[in-house]
Amino acid sequence: MRRKLRLTVVGIAILKYAGLALGAFFMLLPFAWMIVSSFMSAAEIMARPLRWLPAELQLRNYEALAAAIPLGNMYANSLIVTISITVGVLLTSSLAGYGFAKFHFPGRDILFVLVLATMMIPFFVVLIPIFFLVRQLGWMDSYLGLIVPNIVTAFGIFLMRQYMLTLPDELLDAARIDGASELAIYWRIALPLAGPALGALAILAFVYHWNSFLWPLVVIRSRELATIPIGLNSLRVYASSPEVINLQMAGAALAIIPVVAVFAVLQRHFVRGIALTGIKG
């Protein structure tokens, strides 16, 4: 009887790890093949039966890639744009979240309903007007055009407001009695205490805008201003002949590996951030 029970337990454990491993295999296979084939020659990619590894590492693929698209510019542009947007989002969200959570003023509740309402507006609905607006402002094909329309999000305001509600009023009032200005209280007390929410928002905003494609696609015209997704997309238009498959794979690898490295270091925070917003949202 007891032995039978133990056998079932072991059986279930085996099934469980087999399931997890099978899933993990499918999750990792595309990445593994991306890296392997980025070092293959065109002949090796075409070879049938399938070759699993390149006979020798074709570093030329990466050289050809660097000649085909402006890699340095792409990284720099993506960094500049994504960091600016993230800082903007953190600043505007925490300011407004703090204002909504900790102050009383006429119209506050109506204005907060307005924030919630704009949360319901998906980006594609306002794509054409924002494109038009940015063009009228003369921001086409510029950092300003990429950054400015994105530095405020209703979701960020909502998230920060929910978190700021939990800060104790006594602490803020004590600082007021000590004569601190409202801005100083926000900057020195509220902001440091809101660390976890700021971290979650920073990670979400960074990943979202680092990978963002539709908006840069309509705003950016010149090669020099291409972000990483835009630069990669320009490889695609050659259509996949074997001569460009290894190039495309090299490009995808260079786009993905830094993100994976950052993710490996910050994994815990990613997970906590997603979980936090999942429950709050």
Partner 1 sequence: MSIAIPSVARVANGAAPRRRPYGRRALAGYGFITPAIVFLIGFALLPFLFTVYVSLHDWNMLTAVTSMPFRGLDNYRYLIFEDPLFRQTFANTFVFAAGNVAISSLLALGVALLLNGEVRFPTFWRAVYFLPYVTSSVAISIVWANLYHPSYGLFNGILELFQLPGARFLASLETAMPSVIAVAVWHAVGYYMIIFLAGLQSIPLEVYEAAKVDGANAWHRFRSITLPLLRPTLLFVAVVNTLGSLQVFDLAFVLTNGGPVNATNTVVLYMYQTAFNFTRMGRASAMAVMLFLVILVITLVQLRLLREKE
178 binds partner 1 per the rule CB under 8 A: no
Total Cβ atoms within 10 A of residue 144: 15
Q: Under rule CB under 8 A, how many of the chain's residues touch partner 1?
A: 97
**Alpha-carbon span 281 to 277, nearest angstrom:** 5
191 binds partner 1 per the rule CB under 8 A: no
Instruction: Give 59 or 260: the residue with its C-beta nearer to partner 1.
Output: 260
Residues 75-94 that bind partner 1 (CB under 8 A): 92-93
Pattern 57-76, partner 1, x by CB under 8 A = --------------------
Chain-centre distance for alpha carbon 69: 22
Extract the tokens encoding 239.
């259509």
10 binds partner 1 per the rule CB under 8 A: no
Which residues lie below 8 Å from residue 128, measured CB to CB, with a gap of 6+? none
Instruction: Give 29 or 67: the residue with its C-beta nearer to partner 1.
Output: 29
Closest approach of Cβ 224 to partner 1, in Å? 19
Contact present, 39 and 253 (Cβ < 8 Å): no
Instruction: Give 72 or 229: the residue with its C-beta nearer to partner 1.
Output: 229
CA angle 51, 52, 56 (to 5 degrees): 85
User: Residue 281, exposed/middle/buried by CB under 10 A (0-12, 13-18, 19+)?
Assistant: exposed
**Alpha-carbon span 44 to 105, nearest angstrom:** 69
Q: Exactly one of 41, 163, 186, 200 binds partner 1 (CB under 8 A); which one? A: 186
Instruction: Give 149 or 163: the residue with its C-beta nearer to partner 1.
Output: 149
Residues 260-279 that bind partner 1 (CB under 8 A): 260, 263-264, 267-268, 270-271, 274-275, 278-279
Q: Exactly one of 56, 63, 109, 224 binds partner 1 (CB under 8 A); which one? A: 109
**Alpha-carbon span 168 to 241, nearest angstrom:** 62
Torsion of CA 181, 187, 190, 193, to 10 degrees: -150
Closest approach of Cβ 270 to partner 1, in Å? 7
Closest approach of Cβ 271 to partner 1, in Å? 6
145 binds partner 1 per the rule CB under 8 A: no
Total Cβ atoms within 10 A of residue 103: 9
Residues 200-229 that bind partner 1 (CB under 8 A): 207, 210-211, 213-214, 218, 228-229
